[in-house]
Structure 1
């Protein structure tokens, strides 16, 4: 008996280099934002009181202890 051949090829996910680099860029930006909001405590965000207060309110919103 011969082996049956599928009528159409099985679908395989396509991961292109562009998709991979885009995903890595998004992850890097999210990691940076997470650091700034959760752990920075003003070390990097010294561009004024507005940005510091924005990050401080973000900590409270996310439930990250800050003081």
Structure 2
């Protein structure tokens, strides 16, 4: 049976520090994509519809039910 030997040195893993100013644009972009997706799943229908017809509604229909949005 093999046991771990605490006296054996393991190589150190360098920790990379990412500045917030480099992360902020990506966080903003992902938040914007999430809001657009939430709009299309939750509100793209009826009076607030940006795209006419029922195409978008049919594409996100199951997602609406999964997330608890009423659609009919």
Contact 1:36-1:44 at 8 Å conserved across structures: no
Gaps of 5+ in 1: 1-12
Which residue of 1 is the match for residue 10 of structure 2?
none
Give the structure 1 partner of residue 40 of structure 2. Answer: 36
The number of aligned residues is 55
CA RMSD of aligned residues (A): 2.2
Of 49, 62, 71, the residue aligned with 1:66 is 71
Runs (5+) with no aligned partner, structure 2: 1-16
